């Protein structure tokens, strides 16, 4: 796949039966606990392979570690967290690289595979499709509240577990349905990633904001002004694509633009199979999955949020 239509991961066709999927992701800690940070970083890096419809197989660790200021046991816990996630995903760690750096960073490069005819991209929305989102939104806003020591332990735990949850189950369930396009929700936020799907598609999208799964705490924090800079950047970047109805409150808009870490899959599926897919996702334990909108003919390449 060419770079002019950047997708979640790179895909290279090896034979008529096999294409490899490659992706890399790493970042600074977003939670205090090193073991959970390791799990989240791994789940986040693996997610792009799932978003392409693929199966991750091998991974390499990428580590930047402040060895002078931090105990090596912290690094050990991060790596353990990452390894446990890879095991859960059925992924083998085949290597890695560590550098000394004033700022701790961790992530993975991941290789997966897929049948070349079954690659799911962002770019194949069909008018009439229904859209399903598999995880709740608001982790960036709640992360800001955690950094400001304003978040409760309860919501911190909830969001930490959700970010560490693999998109594996959702990706496996989706294989059995006529899915036309898929991406995972990360730094550009729900509307930013949806805008990538809408760009060049020749279709529009209608979102029912009341149906989008969100952490109610994120709405509360956003109403208090705890909105990360990334959410403002995402809004500025996509302002012209998104049309908010008069009833969509500002804090709801903020959550829809909130940058996510290890967010859910956004799936565009043939409408006649959408309810069955949603039911199957829930049966598989993807509890927060919800129908959030539909693909429409007009206005073209716009997102209407109601
Ligand atoms: Co992605
Ligand atoms: Co990525
Ligand atoms: Co090396």
Please report which confidence band the pLDDT of residue 1 belongs to, taking 50, 70 and 90 as the band edges: low
Q: Is residue 193 part of a domain?
A: yes
Q: Are 180 and 271 in contact (CB under 8 A)?
A: no
Rounded distance from Cα 95 to ligand 3 centre (Å):
9
Rounded distance from Cα 168 to ligand 2 centre (Å):
15
Residues 83 and 229 in one domain: no
- At residue 204, the pLDDT reads 97
Tell which residue, 122, 112, 123, has the closest CA to residue 11: 112
Rounded distance from Cα 209 to ligand 1 centre (Å):
22
**For the segment 268-285, what is each residue's pLDDT rounded down to a tens digit?**
999 999 999 999 999 999
Rounded distance from Cα 261 to ligand 2 centre (Å):
10
| Mean pLDDT in residue range 230-257 | 97
Q: How many domains does the chain have?
A: 2
Residues 241 and 165 in one domain: yes
- Domain of residue 73, CATH code: 3.30.1330.10
| Mean pLDDT in residue range 244-263 | 97
Rounded distance from Cα 298 to ligand 2 centre (Å):
30
Rounded distance from Cα 98 to ligand 3 centre (Å):
7
Rounded distance from Cα 281 to ligand 2 centre (Å):
23
In sequence order, what are the beta bridge partners of 131? Answer: 268, 293
- How far is the CA of 41 from the CAs of 84, 85, 96, 116, in angstroms? 12, 9, 14, 27
Percentage of the chain exceeding pLDDT 90: 95
Residue ending a domain, among 88, 118, 148, is 118
Residues 81 and 160 in one domain: no
Backbone φ/ψ region at 20: left (φ over 0), alpha (ψ -120 to 50), beta? beta
Nearest ligand, CA 63: 3
Rounded distance from Cα 23 to ligand 2 centre (Å):
7
**For the segment 132-142, what is each residue's pLDDT rounded down to a tens digit?**
999 999 999 99
Q: Quickly count: other Cβ atoms within 10 Å of residue 1's Cβ.
A: 17
Cα separation, 64 vs 160, in Å, equals 22
Residues 113 and 216 in one domain: no
Residues 82 and 139 in one domain: no
pLDDT at 143 over 60: yes
**For the segment 5-64, what is each residue's pLDDT rounded down to a tens digit?**
678 899 999 999 999 999 999 999 989 899 999 999 999 999 999 999 999 999 999 999
Rounded distance from Cα 245 to ligand 2 centre (Å):
31
**For the segment 58-112, what is each residue's pLDDT rounded down to a tens digit?**
999 999 999 999 999 999 999 999 999 999 999 999 999 999 999 999 999 999 9
Nearest ligand, CA 184: 1
What residue numbers bound the domain in which 47 lies?
A: 10-118
Rounded distance from Cα 106 to ligand 3 centre (Å):
15
- At residue 147, the pLDDT reads 87
What lies within 8 Å, CB to CB, of 211 at 6+ separation is 290, 291, 292, 293
Lowest mean pLDDT among 9-13, 161-165, 177-181: 9-13
Backbone angles phi, psi at 280, to 5 degrees: -65, -35
Tell which residue, 126, 106, 96, 1, has the closest CA to residue 52: 1
Tell which residue, 95, 7, 103, has the closest CA to residue 54: 7
Q: Quickly count: other Cβ atoms within 10 Å of residue 239's Cβ.
A: 12
Cα separation, 289 vs 174, in Å, equals 12
Tell which residue, 66, 86, 62, 83, has the closest CA to residue 74: 66
- At residue 5, the pLDDT reads 63
Mean pLDDT for the chain overall: 96
């Amino acid at each position: 796949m060419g770079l002019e239509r950047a997708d979640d991961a790179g895909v290279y066709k090896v034979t008529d039966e096999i294409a490899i999927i490659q992706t890399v992701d790493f970042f600074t800690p977003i939670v205090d606990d090193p073991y959970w940070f390791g799990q989240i970083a791994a789940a986040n890096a693996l997610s792009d392979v799932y978003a392409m419809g693929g199966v991750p197989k091998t991974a390499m660790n990428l580590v930047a570690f402040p060895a002078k200021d931090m105990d090596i046991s912290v690094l050990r816990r991060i790596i353990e967290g990452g390894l446990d996630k890879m095991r859960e995903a059925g992924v083998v760690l085949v290597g890695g690289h560590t550098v000394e750096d004033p700022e701790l960073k961790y992530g993975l490069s991941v290789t997966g595979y897929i049948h070349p005819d079954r690659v799911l991209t962002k770019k194949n929305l069909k008018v009439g499709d229904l859209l399903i989102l598999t995880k709740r939104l608001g982790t960036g806003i709640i992360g800001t509240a955690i950094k400001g020591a304003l978040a409760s332990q309860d919501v911190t735990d909830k969001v930490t577990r959700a970010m560490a949850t693999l998109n594996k189950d959702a990706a496996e369930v989706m294989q059995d349905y006529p899915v036309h396009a898929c991406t995972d929700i990360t730094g550009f936020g729900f509307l930013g990633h949806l805008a990538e799907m809408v760009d060049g598609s020749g279709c529009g999208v209608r979102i029912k904001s009341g149906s989008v799964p969100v952490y109610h705490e994120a709405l509360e924090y956003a109403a208090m002004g705890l909105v990360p800079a990334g959410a403002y950047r995402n809004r500025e970047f996509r302002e012209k694509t998104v049309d908010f109805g008069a009833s969509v409150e500002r804090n709801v808009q903020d959550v829809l633009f909130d940058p996510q870490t290890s967010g859910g899959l956004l799936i565009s599926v043939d409408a006649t199979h959408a309810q069955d897919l949603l039911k199957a996702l829930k049966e598989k334990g993807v509890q927060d999955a919800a129908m959030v909108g539909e693909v429409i003919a007009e206005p073209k390449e716009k997102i209407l949020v109601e």
